[in-house]
Structures are given as C-alpha cells and as structure tokens.
Amino acid sequence: MIISGSTLLGIVIANSFSKRVKELFDIKTFLTVFETSMSDIGMHTEDILQSTRQYMKTGIKQIISNIYSDMQTEYPDLLEKSWEEQIIKNRGKLSLTDQDIDTFISIGKFLGNTGLENQKKHIQHMIGVIDKQMEHAVTQRDKNKKIALNFGVLGGLMITLMLM
Amino acid sequence: MTLVTQHDKYYFATLKIFPEKIRALTDELSPEQWQDVNEIRLRAGSRIMVCVKGIYRYLDEYIGKRDTTPFIVCQQDLKTIVELATRNSVYMHLEDIKKGFITIREGIRIGICGRPVIKNNEISNIHEISSLNVRISREYIGCALPLMKYIVDNTGNISNTLVISPPMCGKTTILRDICRLLSDGYSPGPIPEGVNVGLVDERSEIASCKNGVPQRNVGKKTDIYDDCPKVLGMNMIIRCMSPAVIITDELGNDEDEKAVMNVLNAGVKIITSSHGYTISDMNSKKSIVNLMNNKVFSKYIVLCNEKGPGTLKEVTDGAGINKIR
C-alpha cells in the first residue's frame, strides 16, 4: 500500500509537468485559432471564444467557456476584466507557473480592443512568448518527470524497508 | 398623451454599451423621459448631456439629481463604451471607426471624436477618444404613409425620389418606413401587395441587421445589402435580386452618381436621401446637381424639424420648380 501510494504521488507530480506543457499548448492553440478566425473569417471575439473551446483539452477550455458565459450576460463587462477574473478564480486547477499565469492574463489586455493589424502583432508576440515558455516547460518535464516517478517508487520502497 | 410605462428596446440596447457607473445614472431615466431623448453626449472631463426634443440638458439634471455631486466622464469610460459597443471586437469595426462612427444593435449610431492616427494622409484609427455621441434612432411605423401619394402614383408607378433633410430630422426613419410600405404594400393604395425592394444599408442604420435578420421592420419583400458601400451594393443588388426599387441613404459622393445612373439604366427605380435644408442646398453637391440636371428624380421631398422630426416641409416635382405641396 505504501509503495502504491508513493508511486501514485510520484505519478501525480510527474503529470503536473506534462499538464503544464499541454496547458501552454492550449493557450497557443487558442491564439492561433483566434488570429485565423479574426482575420480570415471575420468573427466577433465572443463567437471565437465559443468556437475555440472545441480545440482544447485542458483546464484552459473551462476558463474560455466561463469567459464566454460572462459575455452572454445581460450587461456584459469588458473582456479584459472577465478574462483576468476567470484566470485568477481557476488558477488552482492549472499547472501553470506564475510567469505562465501572467502571460495568460496579459493576453486579455489586448484581445479584441485594437485594429486587425495590431491584434495580429500582439498575437504573434504572445505566441513567441508562449513558445519560449513551452520550451522551458518541456525541458522541465523531461528532466523532472522521470525523477518524480523514480522518487515515488524508491521513496515507497524506502519507507516500507524502514518500517520493516 | 399616452403614458409610457415600459422602456423600449433601444433603451436596453443603449444600456448594454455603458460601463456600470454610467448605466446606473442612465437607469434612472423613466420610460417617459427616455422617449424624448434623441442623443446622449459624453465628453471626457464633462458631465453627460442628453438631447431632449432638440434641447441639450445635463443628464443628472434631467433625471432630477441636482443635489448630488455630478458625474464626470473620463477618457477610460469612453474607451470602455467603444469596446462594449463593438462587443470587444474593435477590429471588426475599424473601417467605421476611421469614418468616425460605429453602428450597434438596434441601429444606434455612436459618433466618435478624438485624436486620429494618420497614415499615408488617411485616418487609420482614432485614439485618445475625447467625445462620443450616442444617437438613438427610433422606428415610427406608418410615419411615411402621408408621403406615399407623392412617391407612388395611382397606376402604381414609383417615382425616383430624393428625400432632403437636415440632420436629426428623421430622414432615415422616413426612408425605413417608405421601404416597409413599398415592400409590404399598403391599402388603400395602388400597390396593396407590395414590390421587391433592394435596400443598400451602408451604415446598418435602416434595417440594423443582426446575423442576417433585420432588427427593424423594412418589409417582407426587402433584400438587404448590409454594411456595404452604396456604389457596390447598388450595382450588385440589380444583378442578383432584380428589385423594382432600390432604397439607400445619404447620397453625395462623386461615385454615387454613376451608381444611380446604372440603377436607372437597369429600369429600376431609386429612392434615396441627402443632407440639406432646401433643394437649392443640393447645388453644392456635384453628383446630385448632375443627377438633377439629368432629371433623374421625379420628386423631391424636403423634411424639417418645425413640428418635431419628420415634419414635411415641401414636395417638389422633378424640375425642382413646381411645388406639389
């Protein structure tokens, strides 16, 4: 039981490194789809928020859904405000670092509030930032995932041996 | 006088674009007070003004809040209004913003003033917004009925008509109702069944389409080119929808003349409008002068604000000389 529990803990820790990569990838996907929907299809921000949800698989999907719901209320607030509120509210459910969260929040500060060319520039800049953070996240994942898994199994074994 | 007990749809559409603190103030307007409001003017660093039956008043005074500290609009409020009005999609409305306005749901038009960004001698955006003018255009079903006898003769022949009116005198409202009456037909009248109408709604003010569905009553036989340049729309609608009459707003550009001639050459009638106080005001507009010289229009309808928006001042025949009314 001790070995299983410890291994499970190792798996959970290891998965959080993978989860961060997936969440960052979802944010990047959102930005890419947003750019295409905005410039090529000419969709409104709230329609883009609704349609991009299908491309996501992590907790980012829930945040985007909540922001979309906020925009459907009788008197919707600015996207920027709802964006920040929802990220802060759901922060605990994400594996993103503080730096990732800051990047994610900063997306809401420009989304939809400038002309097309500026939107594209902002999006491309943010994609660049996220790419860098993803590189770091992948390195961290590769480095720490094995350690966490091994540590889980070995830790369990050690505790069991000590108790014996 | 009928007591108005409920706010209309324009009220709720207007509230949607205001940040909470301005909404709280506007929310105190009674339905009756709201009915008389034509414009809401917001200027950075000033109190909110409303145009009530042509007279400008401070909003807080109009709602009877004289004893409290007046609310002063800041620039961030104006920026927020533009973002909310565009549904957080400023990029979708930039072409309109360049021209100084945006049209939102229910046909409410917001004039924008500020510091323009100039690129290649053209305005590419307006930043540092300094003032906004929220124009509330209402729908008055049947307001054009008294004019129909001048536009459609006893045999059902529709006259090419130019509606001339100064701003805020109901030009668009009258055009919208003419569109509805021609499309749905009216009785007693020479066209009880109505005709196919092509509407080129360049600023989305006449039909106020949302997802392809007109939010204003423009008639059941009306095909609409929404948010489309007049010249392009007029040429396209002739080819694809074969209307009996084309209706469009605010003629005046040089290119408009050619588009109107194309419409006439296709055997389609045209009803349109232009800014002005009298027929002679049209002399300053080259394209309209050319159309007048070519006797394109058979009727000129001049509106004024004497007894409120939409007051009929005069109706003149195509020569512009013989007053019919």
Mutate to test the interface with B, among A81, A114, A122 (most CBs of B within 10 A): A114
The pLDDT value recorded for residue A71 is: 92
Rounded to a whole number, what is the distance in angstroms from the first to the last CA of chain B?
29
∠ CA B213-B96-B168, rounded to 5°: 80
Chain B residues with beta carbon closer than 8 angstroms to that of A116: 91, 94
Stretch 130-159 of chain A: residues touching chain B, C-beta under 8 Å: none
Contact A115 B83 (CB under 8 A): no
Contacts of B13 in chain A (CB under 8 A): none
Residue B1 has a pLDDT of: 43
> Which pLDDT tens digit goes with each residue over B293-305?
888 999 999 998 8
Among A41, A71, A78, pick the best mutation site for testing chain B contact (most B Cβ within 10 A).
A78
* Separation CA B166–CA B276 (nearest Å): 5
Distance CA(B32)–CA(B168), nearest Å, equals 20
Asked whether the beta carbons of residue A119 and residue B15 sit closer than 8 angstroms, the reply is no
Work out the number of other CB atoms within 10 angstroms of the CB of residue A3: 16
Contacts of B129 in chain A (CB under 8 A): none
pLDDT tens series, chain A, 164 aa:
777 887 777 777 777 778 899 999 999 999 999 999 998 888 999 999 999 988 888 999 999 999 999 999 989 989 999 999 999 999 999 999 999 999 999 999 999 999 999 999 999 999 999 999 999 999 988 887 777 777 777 877 888 888 87
**Contact A75/B15, CB-based, under 8 Å?**
yes
The pLDDT of residue B321 is 60
In terms of phi and psi (left: phi > 0; alpha: psi -120 to 50; beta: otherwise), the region of B320 is left
The strand pairing partners of B300, in sequence order, are: B162, B316
Is any Cβ of chain B less than 8 angstroms from the Cβ of A41?
no
Within 8 A of A78 by CB-CB distance, chain B residues are 80, 83-84, 88
How long is chain A? 164
3-state SS of B84-132?
HHCCCCHHHCHHHHHHCEEECHHHCEEEEEEEEEEECCEEEEEEEEEEE
CB contact under 8 A, B83 and A38: no
Helix segments in chain B, DSSP class H: 9-16, 20-26, 31-35, 59-62, 75-85, 94-99, 148-151, 171-184, 230-241, 254-265, 286-293
Of B20, B84, B90, the CB nearest to A114: B90
- Residues of chain B contacting A, Cβ within 8 Å: 15-16, 20, 23, 80, 83-84, 86-92, 94, 124-125
CA distance B261 to chain A (A): 33
* Nearest chain B Cα distance for residue A42, angstroms: 7
pLDDT above 60 for B3: no
User: Distance, in angstroms, between A48 CA and closest chain B CA?
Assistant: 10
Residues of A in contact with B27 (CB under 8 A): none
Q: Is A45 within 8 Å of B84 when comparing Cβ atoms?
A: no
Distance between B64 CA and the closest CA of chain A, angstroms: 25
Nearest to B87 among A46, A75, A114 (CB): A46
Instruction: Give the start-to-end residue ranges of the domains of chain A.
Output: 27-144
Q: How do residues B209-234 score in pLDDT, each as one tens digit?
A: 877 889 899 999 999 999 888 999 99
Give the gyration radius of chain A's Cα atoms.
19
Chain A residues near residue B87 by CB distance under 8 angstroms: 44-46, 71
Find the mean pLDDT for residues B268-273.
95
Sequence-separated (6 or more) residues with CB below 8 Å from residue A41? none
Contact A115 B91 (CB under 8 A): yes
Identify the closest residue of chain A to B80 by CA–CA distance.
A78
Cis peptide before B188 (omega within 30 of 0): yes
Q: What is the pLDDT of residue B227?
A: 85
Cβ separation of A75 and B125 shorter than 8 Å? no
User: How long is chain B?
Assistant: 325
Work out the pLDDT band at B137, boundaries 50, 70, 90. Answer: confident
ipTM of this model? 0.82
Alpha-carbon separation of residue B54 from B13, B50, B101, B306 (angstroms): 22, 9, 21, 11
